Structure 1
Amino acid sequence: MGRGGLDKNRLIDVELDESIGRSTPDVEHERAVAIFDLIEDNSFLPVNDSGEGPYRLKLSLVDARLVFAISRQAGDEVATHILSLTPFRRIVKDYYMICESYYQAIRSSTPSQIEAIDMGRRGLHNEGSQTLMDRLSGKIEIDFDTARRLFTLVCVLHWRG
Structure 2
Amino acid sequence: MDTDNNRLVAVNLDNTLSKTFSADVDHERKVAIYDLIESNSFQVVGKPEGPYSLNLSIDGTKLVFNVCNEAGDTLSVIALALSPLRRIVKDYYGICESYYQAIRTATPSQIETIDMARRGLHNEGSQVLMDRLDGKIAVDFDTARRLFTLVCVLHWRG
If the length of structure 1 is used for normalisation, what is the TM-score? 0.85
* Matched ranges for 1:44-59 at <5 A: 44-51=42-49, 53-59=50-56
Q: How does 1:33-44 map to 2 (within 5 A)?
A: 33-44=31-42
Count of residue pairs brought into register by the alignment:
156
Amino acid at match of 2:88: I
Deviation at 1:20, TM superposition (A): 5.0
Cα deviation for residue 19 of structure 1 reads 5.8
Amino acid at match of 2:131: D
Please state whether the residue corresponding to 2:20 is helix, strand or coil. Answer: coil
Distance 1:60 1:28 in 2: 16
Cross-structure match for 2:62: 65
The correspondence of residues 8-157 of structure 1 with structure 2, limited to 5 A, is: 8-18=5-15, 22-24=19-21, 26=23, 27-51=25-49, 53-157=50-154
Which range is displaced more, 19-28 or 150-159? 19-28
> 2-side partners of 1:30 and 1:87: how far apart?
22
Residues 100 and 81 of structure 1: CA distance in aligned 2, closer, same or farther (over 3 Å): same
Where do 5+ consecutive residues of structure 2 fail to align?
A: none
Distance across 2 between alignment mates of 1:22 and 1:108: 27
Q: Which structure 1 segments of 5+ residues have no match? A: none
Query: C-alpha separation between the residues in 1 aligned to 2:18 and 2:99?
Result: 27
Distance in 1, Cα, partners of 2:77 & 2:104: 44
Shift of residue 28 of structure 1?
A: 4.4
The higher radius of gyration belongs to: 1
Percent identity (aligned): 65
How big is the shift at 1:56? 0.9
Amino acid corresponding to residue 86 of structure 1 in structure 2? S
